[in-house]
Amino acid sequence: MRERIDLREALNAISDVVQNRPRALREFDQIYMKSGDMVLQSEFVASWADKRRLAFIGDGDAISVCTAYLQKRGIIEYGPSRITVFDFDERIVQAVKRFADKERIEHLDAVLYNCLDEFPQPNRFDFFYTNPPWGASNNGESVNVFAQRGMEAIGYKGEGAIVIADDEELEWPKQVLGSAQSFASSSGFYVSRMMPRMHTYHLDDNPDLRSCNLIVSSLPGDSRSFVSEAITDRSRLENFYGKSQAPRVRYVRERKRLDYGKASEDEYRLELLEIAK
């Protein structure tokens, strides 16, 4: 049951999470959602996946953390019973783990994982969530790769939220939406809900581009056996992160810093007062 939430408390909680988010690496399509949209999206995810085991396939935005934290702080009374983030960026994985540890959120965890590799925990979740590379240059194949891992996480039984571009003017988001829907259909899922143009991003070259929540649900009675395998078919990986940008990195590794969360010394220099010289 959804209820009214204290907006100030919710925004301040999201602000704690944003403060903890590593800086976005544009070359891997990390483009972060804006904070107001994160509040609404996290509340939606908490309600949609209430009492479910939820797998995030990639989560630079930190919707996973917001969802768990809003519940932990008592700002909302509902939410998933378990949340695990699978991401190839160790900075993101460690940021989730550090936050969960600091705030004592026992049901939140993260695993270093590249979605080109076989999925390490198939069949262990009820729902999945993914905000993948949006597939402007590969007709959505990158979306389908992330969605496939989500489907494996839930053993092709349950629901998934696929967060992808949605724009009235541009053609490619419509093509990608079509491709994602036919991939879902060929995988034994149907589109059970579509929430159009919900979220905005810190995206310099197209600040107005929005994304939707495409909710897919498994068809009743369609139980399938599967083996999760590495993706080696090069045609699925062309233009993965944009034109001529096939994946070449297994993991983004974190450089350990003791002053995590503070400005790095190479970001600024001090110009001293005369009296201090």
Ligand X SMILES: C[S@@+](CC[C@H](N)C(=O)[O-])C[C@H]1O[C@@H](n2cnc3c(N)ncnc32)[C@H](O)[C@@H]1O
Q: Which stretch binds ligand X (CB under 6 A): 35-43, 47-55, 113-121, 187-195?
A: 113-121
150 in contact with ligand X (CB under 6 A): no
User: Do residues 150 and 256 lie in contact, with contact meaning Cβ atoms separated by under 8 Å?
Assistant: no
d(CA 28, CA 37): 22
Within 90-109, which residues bind ligand X (CB under 6 A)?
Answer: 92
Which residues lie below 8 Å from residue 52, measured CB to CB, with a gap of 6+? 80, 81, 125, 126, 127, 158
Q: Does 29 bind ligand X (CB under 6 A)?
A: yes
* 50 makes contact with ligand X (CB under 6 A): no
Between CA 247 and CA 231 the distance in angstroms is 11
Q: Which of 37, 43, 50, 59 binds ligand X (CB under 6 A)?
A: 59
Binders of ligand X among residues 123 to 142 (CB under 6 A) are 131-133
DSSP 39-96: HHHHHHHHHHTTTSEEEEE--TT-HHHHHHHHHHTTSSS---SEEEEEESBHHHHHHH
| Smallest distance, ligand X to C-beta of residue 71, A | 21
Nearer to ligand X by Cβ, of 225 and 244: the residue is 244
The nearer residue to ligand X, 188 or 247, going by C-beta atoms, is 247
For the chain, the C-alpha Rg in angstroms (whole number) is 19
Instruction: Rule CB under 6 A: choose which of 38, 41, 55, 60 binds ligand X.
Output: 60
Q: Which stretch binds ligand X (CB under 6 A): 22-30, 189-197, 223-231, 255-263?
A: 22-30
> Closest separation between CB of residue 199 and ligand X, Å?
8
Q: Is 35 exposed, middle or buried (0-12, 13-18, 19+ CB in 10 A)?
A: middle
22 lies in the site for ligand X, by CB under 6 A: no
User: Contact positions toward ligand X, by CB under 6 A?
Assistant: 24, 28-33, 58-61, 87-89, 92, 113-116, 131-133, 247
